[in-house]
Structure 1
């Protein structure tokens, strides 16, 4: 007699399997452990070098200081994975902040109007960057280098380089000075941006398309992916997040200024590259970007506590970018 064998049936994934897969998605990237080791080393070095470093107030200060970089770096992760770059994020932030402040002062002193103007302006700049890059086949480096100057110039022109005062108390509480579940709202907005970024990049078809476009644009195109739309959407997301960062900064400052955060794109790109994202596209993850941003923020904070001059801080951050690119080069 011949034995009847039951067909092989794939076992349903257990809870531990799902948990393991979640950790793999969050920790994906080449050598992620190096990122965490570097962060721990920084904490140890600065803790031994400064008696003020290991304090709750200082860590909250680092969280607030890294808010702007962390929020924009989420969008920049999408752009760089798609094999592009956006040099205009700091200027987009300045222009979005001016738009939010002007909308509240000239149209309606409502935080909703200000938020819509700031987010909309950032998304519009991102849309223009994406259209010029994809439809005219101009390298994104050149497109965003031009929009960097134009957005900053517009921010200065609209008020003749003067700041715009904001008086809406609700705006301050929602974006700059309030708390949410005991967490300062700037840090809460950072967590929101990170969670949305993780869901979009690691658990959504849009994220899979971003990886495909960055990994092999030709193969992605022949597989039916609208590569131009995906790339443009990445720029729009980055611009909108720059707008969100503008709301946080202007709410904390009670005003919008056209000359703020000049050169911040350096910190954003450094955070994304340090987080394991490849400038050659196709690789990156959001949790790594968060740790990259925290490393930059911790480095800035620690160097200030140690009395290192601002020019030397720029030299150190530039060297870190070069080292990170060399480390991640395939």
Structure 2
């Protein structure tokens, strides 16, 4: 992706966060960016409006339902945050999820009916697709938009081919418990996976050398290159991370469905990218944070849930959802 420079938002300003100390508090991460408080205010207002409009919205069961519904988007969006901060984009995450789920289910069906085998196959497939995206983008210098548009089609087609468009049934009870139906202290496993991935993403992006290099690669590639940052390696690892998390999301979805289907979550990449941008990440690279991405995902999930509870038609839901996302991004960018 190409950068658009302007006096109001110069590259060096976007990359300045790289030079800040790593031991920053969580509150500073919550408050970084351009007017991020508008995002929190918008979320609070949304909660109040839906609570007043629907007697079923303000309940623990409904909030747990929102958490389960947003799991897939939230997990993949953590990886997408790294990709977009490094000034790239990945359109193939939904197809990667579909192919990874098929790999996991086929491995358990024909190799060994063991959840570890399925998990390794699913995560490995996601990581491999991410590696392909990263290598083609950095080594052949093809824009990531075009590369991942190609893998979007290729991975989806391969997922449809391997079983002739038929689903593959999963029977391993441990697989269901670990990734889909289990719980700890009443908290469903998918939500626990989301929390775990979010915490790991925060530590990796905001408190590690690799995270600082991601900001440098996206904020000011020229300065980063002269500072000794291996931009190609950093970018490739960001794609691998995103692919791996898409693989994890496939395990959660297939465990919840007791089967893997090749035609699932078509178009989900748009919700993933919207969550990252809504959470304060810049499409031009160099700016973003994981907690903002999680909040962006929760805003989209809460909006979907609230509109369903209010009985809004599906067509009107799309109109309202699009308008609110555009308005929220406009306010947070002012």
Is residue 214 of structure 2 the alignment partner of residue 210 of structure 1?
Answer: yes
CA gap 1:268/1:101 in 2 versus in 1, 3 angstroms: same
Match of residue 301 from structure 1: 305
Match of residue 126 from structure 2: 122
Q: 151, 155, 160: which is aligned to 2:155? A: 151
**1:1-330, aligned counterparts within 5 Å?**
21-323=25-327, 326-327=330-331
Q: Equivalents in 1 of 2:177, 2:218: separation in Å? A: 39
Any gaps of 5 or more consecutive residues in structure 1?
A: 1-17
CA gap 1:327/1:229 in 2 versus in 1, 3 angstroms: farther
Query: CA shift at 1:25, angstroms?
Result: 3.1
Q: Is the 8 A contact 1:279 1:325 kept in 2?
A: no
Q: Equivalents in 1 of 2:325, 2:303: separation in Å? A: 13
Query: CA shift at 1:53, angstroms?
Result: 0.6
Q: Is the 8 A contact 2:180 2:189 kept in 1?
A: yes
Query: CA shift at 1:28, angstroms?
Result: 2.3
CA gap 1:266/1:317 in 2 versus in 1, 3 angstroms: farther
Q: Is the 8 A contact 1:270 1:320 kept in 2?
A: no
3-state DSSP of counterpart to 1:137: coil
Any gaps of 5 or more consecutive residues in structure 2?
A: 1-21
3-state DSSP of counterpart to 2:25: helix
Q: Is the 8 A contact 1:89 1:148 kept in 2?
A: yes
Q: Cα RMSD between the aligned structures?
A: 1.7
**Alignment coverage as a number of residue pairs:** 313
**Max radius of gyration: which structure?**
1
Match of residue 14 from structure 1: none
CA gap 1:204/1:26 in 2 versus in 1, 3 angstroms: farther
State the TM-score, normalized to the length of structure 2: 0.90
Q: Equivalents in 2 of 1:145, 1:312: separation in Å? A: 29
Match of residue 11 from structure 1: none
3-state DSSP of counterpart to 1:318: helix
Q: Is the 8 A contact 1:82 1:231 kept in 2?
A: yes
